[in-house]
Structure 1
Amino acid sequence: MKIWRLNRFLLRTPVDTKCASRSFLPALVGLCLGITVSMMYAPFSEDSCETFLARQDPQKMIKLRETKSLDSGKEEEMYEPRQLEVPADSANYKLDSKAGSKFYRPKFAATELGIREKLLVAVLSSKDSLNTRAVALNKTLAHFVTRTVFFIDQKASVPPPPGMLIVNFSDGYNHLLPIAVLKYVSAKYGHDYDYFMFITDHAYVRAEKIMDLVTHISVSKHVHLGSPRGVEQGSTYCSLDGGVILSQSILSVVNATANMKWCSDKCHHSDQSLNLGKCVLHTAQMECQATVAGKQYTSHPVKDFNFDRDIEALREQTEFNKSISVFPMPDERTHFKLHRYFCEVELNATFYEIQEMKDNILYMSQFAPGGRDSVSWPVGVPESYKPKNRFDVIRWDYFTETHIFFQDDFTNVKELVGVDKLDIQDIIKVSMEKLNAKHNNIYLYSYLINGYRRFDPQRGMEYILDLALEDTSIVSEDGSNNDRVVEKRVFLVRPLGEVEVVPMPYVTENTKIRLVLPITMHDTDGWGLFVENYSKIKTEAGSIMSLIVVFIYDEAPKAGQEDRFSVLRSMLSYYDGKNDADTKSIALTVVSNKTYVSELTIIDMVSSHKSVSDDTLLFMCTVGMQLNMEMLNRVRINTIPGWQVFFPVGFWQFKPNLIYDKKPYPTDIDFNSKTGHYDVLSYEHGSFYNSDYKEARKSLTGSELASFDIFEMFVNFGKLHVFRAVEPEFKHFYQHLECLPNSPGKLYDRCLERRSLNLGTRAQLAKRIFQFQAKKGGH
Structure 2
Amino acid sequence: MAYFTYVYPRRQTFIQKINSVRKHHHVTPINRRLLQIICGFFAGLFIAYVILKHRRSFNSTCRRTSSIGQFKENVNGFGDSNSEDIAENDVEDITHVKKDSEQRKSINRSLLFVGVMTAQKYLETRAAAVYDTWGKEIPGKIAFFSSGVSVKPINAPHLPLVPLKGVDDSYPPQKKSFLMLQYMWEHFGNKYEWFLRADDDVYIRADKIETFLRSINSSKPHFIGQAGRGNQEEFGLLSLEYDENFCMGGPGIILSRETLKKIAPHVKNCLQNLYTTHEDVELGRCVQRFARIPCTWSYEMQSIFYHNFSGSFAFTGNLKTKEVHRAITLHPIKQHKHMYRVHHYMQGLKIHDLQQRKISLYRDLRLMEELRRLHPEFSINKDVLPADNYYSNLFREANLFGMQPDLNKYHPRNEDDVFTWDLISRSIYSNMNLNPRRKIEAYLREGLDDVIREVMDNINLFSRERGRVIEFQQILYGYYRLNPLYGPDYILDVLLTFKKYRGKKMTVPVRRHAYLQQQFTGLEVREIFESTEVNAKNLTEEIITNSRKTYSTEIQLKNVYFDIAKSSSDNEVVKNEISRKLINMVLPLSGKLEAFSRFMKTYEEVCLKQNENVLLFIILFLKNNSDMVYDKTLKIINNLRSRYLVKRSIKIISLEEKFARAKALDYGMKQVNANDLLFFIDVDMVWTTDTLQRIRLNTVLGKMVYFPIVFSEFDPTIVYRSHISPNHFLINEENGYWRIFGFGIMSTYKADINKIGGFDTSITGWGKEDVDLFEKFVLSKNLSILRSADPSLIHIFHIVDCDSSLDLNRLNMCHNTRTETYGSVYQLANLIYSIKTNIFQFARSKIHQADLINR
Q: How does the TM-score come out when normalised to structure 1?
A: 0.46
Q: How does the TM-score come out when normalised to structure 2?
A: 0.42
